[in-house]
Amino acid sequence: MMNINMLKIIVLAATLLQLFSNPAYSLPLCTDSSAPLTPKTPLLFCKYNGSSCCDSVQDSNIQKQFESMNVSQPACASLLKSILCSRCDPFSAELYTIKTAARQVPVLCNSTVSSNSSQTNQPENSYCKTVWDTCQNIPIRNSPFSPSLQGQAPTPTNSTSKLSDTWQSSSDFCNIVGGSSLDNSVCFDGQKVTLNTTTNSTKSSPSGMCLEKIGNGSYLDMVPHTDGSNRAFFSNQKGQIWLATIPEVGSGRGLELDESSPYLDLTDEVLFDTQFGLMSIALHPNFAQNGRFFASFNCDKSKSPSCGGRCACNSDVDCDPSKLTSDTPAEPCQYQSVVAEYTVNGTSSSRASVIPTASPVEVRRIFTMGLPFTSHHAGQILFGPNDGYLYFMMGDGGAGDPYNFAQNKKSLLGKIMRFDVDTIPSEADIARLGLWGNYSIPRDNPYINDKDLLPEIWALGFSNPWRCSFDAERPSYFMCADVGQNDYEEVDVITKNGNYGWRVYEGNTLYAPEQATPGGNTSAGSINPIFPVMGYKHSDVNKNEGSASITGGFFYRSTTDPCLSGSYLFGDLYAHNMWAGVETPENSGNFTKSGITFGCAKDSPEVCSLVPGSELPALGYLFSFAQDNNKDVYLLTSSGVYRIVPPSRCGYTCDLESTTTGPNPAPPSPRGSSANMLKGSTKILLMVLFFLGLGY
């Protein structure tokens, strides 16, 4: 029978393995993966002012839990109250490391220096040791530090225990419940988590963004091949998709793409018009093995028998399609938004990488929905890097959102949806889906917590989300640009069940509808909006074509231009304005943006035309940003394909730029090389097993 010392060693090893292999969230998030919000009613027990992960009900429940503990010693009671209330902290998701397994208590600071405080914590004075020294011999009823936290037999309900009943010393205790603030993670030191404000103090500001033109084609989307090569898929609005080879930075070569030989041609299915077309493409995360290819496009049901789907204007949302009058085709819901799956010709694991074409015959119709109006239907699709689910961005269906679809939880318009395309739908799902499509619902979609939501919905309150991306280094940062109406274009950090305000708000300002609203209005007091982290007013841009419309981008993670590193890049559709957003401090969710000058390298592989009378590249319309497997960033415009290159090629100064440039190194693992941390923790586990083998 295993003795207690051996059990402790195994438990310690397992805990270390969990802590080291778990990537930090690095973003204010609650334990249910939602964003912290300002409670409508101030919290009375847990004094978290401003942004919090608790509402008044949760605050009351924590108070009841605390009172049930019946701790008589004031100093220990005060510490335990703070620990319980840490669930309300805006960083509670990271404090409770819920990525792999939920903890009963937060990670208590036990490091030499705490990253979320200016205070230096010496090991003998760490917060975790303070908890031990203060509470070790205090009886605690229903203790949150019960042995079940360590994988042992749980303490019976309503039992009373002391910390010293389970652990022999502060070292034993803190090895389990404590944690260091390594790799930008956070720990709890008795106070609300705050981040080091000097994080970005050494960052060199870019003097300009240098572009090279590598292709003359006009494309709406680009996604890199999942095999890690220098190949990528490009698609145009007409419905054609090509597999191209991207030259190395500085090679002097252009994009290798044969427009006469598309990889996949969907022009017979796609409705191509000013507001319609092939909107987006996505590769299954295992595309190199399974050849699964997804496309989002528009079709006309009067011309295509397979185009019919349920109208987004329906009885569920109190909308009668026969009464639609503004910006409407002759037949209600004549135009549809579609997500469809295709496959490479042949399905063997080796052929997905080498066969130059895919079958234009659909394997599966994932989703179809009739559009009430002819504008604001977004249409981007992309797979989540952590969960493998398919995200589908959908606009409100029409300028001004007269039917208030974006705030209607029974409507899929003005939403970001999240589908499981790998699991066969259950019979119940099939019966409910009916005309919507063929997919399963991820079990952690927010309808679990909000019964009013359609289960497809991940986030709501959007006007027309035009281009979203996950940060390559911090996948919890899901960024979307949302097109404004009259005044403001915005960038949002997307979280589970987030309500981004439209059309109650445009940006962070109350919106006054300009026309009759048959769909009614939503009161500002009835929602908890998440306001944009960045954006710009229409009056602040150099207008072309007399308007403004945001195009979302990427966090720049390439080494090609080190002065852009870590900046979120975005621009305006009309291509005369670009911005770089910097988060200060890092991982805080607080951004500041600055306009960025851009030019075209004189040694560009393709000649860059200039705006008459200026040195500004004539980009035309900025349709999309894109990113390749080296994390280099591209601009897809109506005049061609541009790539960001070393700033010196345009005469810009970057103090961090090396005198020699070359291919980027392999991209780091997310969250500070968690793969290396896993290797290290595996070594610890092996060492433990080694000692066990010797009988220690």
Task: Name which of 93-102, 127-136, 337-346, 494-503 the model is least confident about.
Answer: 93-102
Q: Which candidate, 140, 228, 208, 136, places its Cα nearest to that of 173? A: 136
pLDDT digits 0-9 by tens, 426-460: 776 666 665 567 899 999 999 998 999 999 999 99
For residue 413, pLDDT over 50 is answered with: yes
pLDDT, position 426: 75
For residue 87, pLDDT over 80 is answered with: yes
Q: How far apart are CA 220 and CA 277, in angstroms?
A: 10
Backbone angles phi, psi at 447, to 5 degrees: -60, -20
pLDDT, position 159: 83
Specify the pTM.
Answer: 0.86
pLDDT digits 0-9 by tens, 461-481: 999 999 999 999 999 999 999
Q: Which candidate, 363, 356, 214, places its Cα nearest to that of 284? A: 363
pLDDT digits 0-9 by tens, 296-326: 999 999 888 788 888 999 999 999 988 886 5
Q: Which candidate, 395, 438, 195, places its Cα nearest to that of 306? A: 438
pLDDT band at 694 (very low <50, low <70, confident <90, very high): very low
For residue 56, pLDDT over 60 is answered with: yes
pLDDT, position 100: 59
pLDDT, position 659: 46
| Residue entry with tokens 């080091």 | 196
Domain limits, the chain: 4-196+673-693
pLDDT digits 0-9 by tens, 528-575: 999 999 999 998 887 665 579 999 999 999 999 999 999 999 999 987
pLDDT digits 0-9 by tens, 339-364: 999 998 654 344 444 555 677 778 89
Quote the tokens at residue 194.
């705050």
- What is the 3 state secondary structure string of 265-332? ECCCCCCCECCECEEEEEECCCHHHHCEEEEEEEEECCCCHHHCCEECCCHHHCCCHHHCCCCCCCCC
| Residue entry with tokens 């130059």 | 356
pLDDT digits 0-9 by tens, 129-150: 999 999 999 999 999 987 654 4
b/e map of 134-155 (b: 16 or more CB within 10 Å)?
bbbebbbebbbbbbebbeeeeb
291 torsion bin: left (phi>0), alpha (psi -120 to 50), beta (else) = left
pLDDT digits 0-9 by tens, 657-666: 874 444 444 4
Q: How far apart are CA 675 and CA 695, in angstroms?
A: 30
On whether the CB atoms of residues 43 and 54 are closer than 8 A, the answer is yes
